[in-house]
Structure 1
């Protein structure tokens, strides 16, 4: 398989106006409170947010240990169906950029530290070509163990993007990447056209320094899905 150009998009606060892992956990706690932490010593999500990013990421997925993958996937679809009806759902400028790449025939890839349960409904609605995300370990019976096969945060994002460009046989100088957080820096620097979404100070400093390619900055203004559909039709 080969492509002419590839556009890589982070998801949380780049395409969607939320942190999917936190938003989904809140939904999960309401609809499946029996699946929450059972041990009183378990810090739960609030405690995890005080830990270093990679440690917190692994701790988050341990919260789903013992959950059948099919159950989590169905909950993810229900969560997204509820979320997508909101008034501030997407980052308008970034989603419009994604649509422009699609109209140009570019391969579009979502790259996220979140999980398939949250992201597959998003990928399906947006009609993207590939989803690179955190992969959870599961048993032969399809039950999550709480451990990870592949995290997708920080350096792992850059590595996955680089591997995807190699597999698709594209020149990195022709490719695009969109991200909103300092942890996306490696991914942005892996391509010739990095795009900062929002006002992260680390990314803006990199854009000013112009270490690679031609950097652009997009606003992080949010809106409903319909706002993007209207822009496309105009």
Structure 2
């Protein structure tokens, strides 16, 4: 997936992914699929899934939890993981309910008006690239695990959590001299606040109390987040 905006871009719509554009946390949902795909026993799957979700426990810094999560892919080949990502997404498309319909419609409307669309997520390319290709996103700003000789090392080159989202979006706009005031952003969690505050047109997804309070103060719009 490219990290450069189209040359005709005059404004950008930024979309958080997990539980904003999609109904699931993609990195964890993909990990569940991956564990079965690579042959772990049901007992091992249950243990590893719980270990992964323990990284969301209160008190764990989100960036630290993000880095620890990707250690789980150490030793796996990039090609194997990418193939699993395509299969995981195809399964979701067959079953339905993966996207929030109202948010996906907003993304399509921005594209029809000539805006570039950018996905911003703490998830990683194996899970995000199939999503981005399906919705026609121009750029993906995400966590980038380190890969050497086609194998994940377990280290992370770039995280995309919290303030990193706003910083990455700001740098992208600066490269093309695009005014943040002309841009849009969508998010569902307080970790998206930096991104939402960066742009001139922000939309809160769902009913997070702190985000709704900020939306009321700032005059932001809200979408319910309706599963497709």
TM more than 0.5: yes
Instruction: Check if 1:171 corresponds to 2:175.
Output: no
Unaligned 5+ segments in structure 1 are 224-234
Instruction: Check if 1:32 corresponds to 2:42.
Output: no
Distance 2:210 2:75 in 1: 38
Instruction: Check if 1:127 corresponds to 2:136.
Output: yes
Judged with a 3 Å threshold, the aligned counterparts in structure 2 of structure 1 residues 46 and 178 are, in CA distance, closer, same or farther, namely closer
Alignment map for 1:50-69 (pairs within 5 Å): 50=57, 51-69=60-78
Distance 1:178 1:47 in 2: 27
Unaligned 5+ segments in structure 2 are 1-6
Deviation at 1:2, TM superposition (A): 5.4
Distance 2:39 2:53 in 1: 16
Deviation at 1:24, TM superposition (A): 0.7
Deviation at 1:105, TM superposition (A): 0.7
Instruction: Assess if the C-alpha contact under 8 Å between 1:44 and 1:63 holds in 2.
Output: no
Instruction: Assess if the C-alpha contact under 8 Å between 1:2 and 1:167 holds in 2.
Output: no
- The DSSP-based 3-state class of the residue aligned with 2:18 is coil
Instruction: Check if 1:8 corresponds to 2:14.
Output: yes
Alignment map for 1:182-197 (pairs within 5 Å): 182-197=190-205
How many residue pairs match? The answer is 217
Segments ≥4 residues shifted beyond 4 Å: 34-37
Deviation at 1:142, TM superposition (A): 1.5
Deviation at 1:52, TM superposition (A): 3.1
Distance 2:54 2:208 in 1: 24
Deviations 1:97-141 (A, max 9, x none): 0000010011111111100000000111111111111111111x1
Partner in structure 2 of residue 49 of structure 1:
56
Choose from 144, 148, 164 the match for 2:156: 148
Distance 1:16 1:46 in 2: 18
Instruction: Check if 1:216 corresponds to 2:198.
Output: no
TM (norm. structure 1) is: 0.87
Distance 1:47 1:218 in 2: 29
Deviation at 1:146, TM superposition (A): 0.6
